Structure 1
């Protein structure tokens, strides 16, 4: 786990954003593709934020995310990105470079869709004034029903620390969670939360990756 040496953490900013959107994108059913969603899940379970901070499990929603991007003054994105670096390496990309970067580094259909979201936000003149992409180099994607690989799971801790630091810098007031998280508040269903997802996974010899019973039940 490491941060790409050319990157700094917080970026100088002007006025504090009035609306902060923290967005995790990816597909948690495909191993390291779930990095972004798992980051949002962990942030919500560990921290509370000011009212103007929204945590969004963007999944693979593509253009359906446009309203969240257009409404944000500051946008923080977590995603698995193929930088061509060592697995678990984190790299930060900022502001206008983010849509160009995601357009050049497409790894899956969800990234194609989200790059279109960012481009549309620019075209409509409703692009966030400040954007930070925290991307993690994946190790394994072709594992249906699989979870984050250990090196990527470990990288989450540094990614979360960087994200919390940036949110605080933007005035998002992160504090350790003091009130229990209600079931209806959770960004991921209890059945898909990381611990349950990993615990319930069948043994490798029992789980064909094209037919995990949790998601593709066998016919009676």
Structure 2
């Protein structure tokens, strides 16, 4: 029983990847001192019910996700504890939220639910660019979201310390070819990109 940090979303659909990119950046920049509370970082992607084991195993759960609040793009909103499953079910932005709401409710039913839960959500700007990446306003919000997340991790007893070196491929929470820098470097220029997506994934 420790802290689980979970990023959920789909990196292939622009701002939908916010949660995964937060966990990726957290791992790239920070390690966790053994003297503090144990921290597990998880790229939850769109796994839905397969995430139940991570939720049930956590004493405290920190979630990063893109959430449609109907607010200006890049706006962050923090939701805590029992409000999290209710909030995620109020306005579903994508199928992954349906699946994750079910995960939280199932964990509650089994009696294996974290003592504390914090959802740090970001209002997306664009979700319709297949093969696209985070928009600048959402990238900026990611930095603020990480700061908020680190503050909460410290309050929960974790001891984050800046990394001296980048994590190895074996440690990486995301597939190396989908890591943000590699993913953006491989995207075709605008004049070559298909307007309904990215030719790497969806031929015109």
TMscore range, shorter length: over 0.9
Aligned to 1:82: 68
RMSD (Å), alpha carbons: 1.4
Aligned-residue offset at 1:200: 1.3
Tell me what 1:146 maps to. Answer: 132
Cα distance in structure 1, aligned partners of 2:27 and 2:51: 19
Match of 2:181 in 1: 195
What corresponds to 1:31 in structure 2? 14
Contact (CA 8 Å) 2:13, 2:128: kept in 1 or not?
Answer: yes
Q: Is the 8 A contact 2:33 2:161 kept in 1?
A: no
- Please say which of residues 202-211 and 118-127 is displaced more in the overlay: 202-211
1:46 aligns with 2:32: no
The match for 2:169 among 183, 196, 199 is 183
Cα separation, 2, equivalents of 1:199 and 1:180: 19
How big is the shift at 1:50? 4.2
Structure 1 segments unaligned to the other structure (5+ residues) = 1-17
TM-score by length of 2: 0.94
1:95 partnered with 2:81: yes
Label 1:118 to 1:209 Cα distance change in 2 as closer, same or farther (>3 A): farther
TM-score, L = length of structure 1: 0.88
The runs of 4+ residues in structure 1 deviating greater than 2 Å are 209-218
**Alpha-carbon distance between aligned partners in 2 of 1:64 and 1:209, rounded to the nearest angstrom:** 33
Identify the range of structure 1 (32-41 vs 176-185) with the bigger mean alpha-carbon deviation.
Answer: 176-185
Q: Report deviation, 1:63.
A: 0.1
Contact 1:144-1:209 at 8 Å conserved across structures: no
Distance in 1 (alpha carbons) for counterparts of 2:197 and 2:151: 40
CA contact (8 A) 2:75 2:123 kept: yes
The CA distance in 1 between the partners of 2:202 and 2:123, in whole Å, is 28
Structure 2 unaligned spans of 5+:
none
Counterpart Cα distance in 2 of 1:101 and 1:50: 33
Residue by residue over 1:10-60, the C-alpha shift from the partner in whole angstroms, topping out at 9 and shown as x without a partner, is xxxxxxxx4100000000000000000000000000000145200000000
Alpha carbons of structure 1 residues 202 and 103: separation in structure 2 relative to 1, 3 Å: same
